[in-house]
Structure 1
């Protein structure tokens, strides 16, 4: 028989009306992918997330699709949608034109990122000679154009191009001091990395929310590949859990659900009340995580 105290301890989110979630999507490239995209959006919208965001391809390659998706999400579901924005390979005037287009479309949330060069993640970044120099510069530019709600990126394991932790935290502080409302972290799988990162930020005087980015593992092979490109580590214990499951989708899904549940419940116990979930345009694991966090669909 389950002890009543243990049962109560497993339901912390039920007593947290302040708990917030947000979801991230990417623009679909085909009609089939778009159908799946909208199916996922409509399944997650009843959870009333704070916002959902739609990514922005390298060099603005998905700009029009991002604008279309974000505009329609807000119109169809009533959920606030945030458009990603980068400053790679573009002049200030070109970026500003995109921002004004977002504003004219009624989009007031932006995820402002420096972005990766066309050569890929980890390659040296060279600002456009007439462009924004970095994410902090981009945030300041957004603030000059309008009263946007701005999210920026944070890196619990340090950005691959940061020379030291002092440089890393100083960069985060400059983005927030420029006018960003919050930071959304890159995916991580060791909560200790996130908690240490937050400690470093608070010690530097940063008070803005640092929202953990949670990556459900829909495909361990794909996530491990992406992690290796963006500087996120895969702990040995995590790799061991998924070993041999490439051809066992049902077991893979069960393990993925358990891993994500462990991560968010531990963060809840640490007092975290905001979560940003990377969906990969899929709903099952995102829905499961929301339920674990105490979120239920609103009719």
Structure 2
């Protein structure tokens, strides 16, 4: 069953990690922007390690497209001063949407590496709101017919998304703790959640039901990443802590061709997206991660974009 036309969708991409990705970035952004996403999110390296490159991609989206951009921010290992500086840089660039996560320290960090001043995503959410309020306490609105006059209006508020984990955060002790953490993020001012990748629609629906019963009111956007090779699937499992989806894993292992495996991954993701939207999900968030054409193919299979968006470009996936 295809998704209804008009279903919101968004993309997540990371800053270029190799020369091929850097060279393809301008066209990648144009191809993704051309299909009308609700926003494009740019990831942020562990411990802020990709701050400069993330900010550059954010600025390029803002300057070269009309698509709103969501900047990821992590706080682990950062002082209040460092976190504030990073937030101000993104706000100064024109960003009004953020994904606030605690994040991870770089893999090569020593065991006694400092964890920083901010201990949770909820604290980072509060800091973003506070800095935005200090930076823009109010907004000046032009008065029609009086060119030099300005009225005082409410300041522009930021959208702050947070992470959600349908099958539990890897460090969580219980599903109750996951919901309590989401409630704390909401109390801190978060107004959207984006889930970690998952493989079964029932997991998302059960999580949303638990969250709503506990008092979470903001939209919970499901995140989907197409698994197009056994290696990609293994990496997804490492990142998410999810259990191996047996059917998908077997299909990818026994299929002998790259194109066949890609087709399996696209079909699985498209069917998952359609099921989620049919069940009431507020939209679809696609993790592209070096595979923009695969993400577009999922949307085409769902009926959300036209075939022409896949055939008018020679661009290929680069990861």
SS of 1:104 mapped into structure 2 = helix
Aligned pair 1:109/2:97, yes or no? Answer: yes
Q: Which residue of 1 aligns with 2:281?
A: 272
Q: Is the 8 A contact 1:40 1:281 kept in 2?
A: no
**How far, CA to CA, are the matches of 1:166 and 1:101 in structure 2?**
36
Q: Which residue of 2 aligns with 1:138?
A: 124
Query: Which of 253, 271, 290 pairs up with 1:281?
Result: 290
Aligned pair 1:13/2:1, yes or no? Answer: no
Pick which of 45-54 and 221-230 moved more. Answer: 221-230
**How far, CA to CA, are the matches of 1:219 and 1:126 in structure 2?**
37
Q: Which residue of 1 aligns with 2:231?
A: 221
**How far, CA to CA, are the matches of 2:112 and 2:249 in structure 1?**
29
Q: Which residue of 1 aligns with 2:271?
A: 262
Change beyond 3 A, Cα 1:158–1:252:
same
Deviation at 1:238, TM superposition (A): 1.6
Q: Which residue of 1 aligns with 2:33?
A: 45
Deviation at 1:183, TM superposition (A): 0.4
Q: 1:210-263: CA deviations, max 9, x gaps? A: 100011113331232341343122211121111134x51011111112111211
State the aligned residue count. 282
Q: Is the 8 A contact 2:13 2:288 kept in 1?
A: yes
SS of 2:254 mapped into structure 1 = coil
Q: Is the 8 A contact 2:41 2:70 kept in 1?
A: yes
SS of 2:94 mapped into structure 1 = coil
Q: Which residue of 1 aligns with 2:243?
A: 233
Change beyond 3 A, Cα 1:134–1:292:
same
Change beyond 3 A, Cα 1:155–1:124:
farther
SS of 2:196 mapped into structure 1 = strand
Change beyond 3 A, Cα 1:273–1:236:
same
User: How well do the aligned residues superpose, as a CA RMSD in angstroms?
Assistant: 2.2
Change beyond 3 A, Cα 1:126–1:185:
farther
SS of 1:189 mapped into structure 2 = coil
Query: Which of 37, 61, 69 pairs up with 1:73?
Result: 61
Q: Which has the larger radius of gyration?
A: 2
Aligned pair 1:166/2:176, yes or no? Answer: yes
**How far, CA to CA, are the matches of 1:125 and 1:45 in structure 2?**
39
**How far, CA to CA, are the matches of 2:113 and 2:219 in structure 1?**
27
When normalised by structure 2's length, the TM-score is 0.83
Structure 1 segments unaligned to the other structure (5+ residues):
1-9
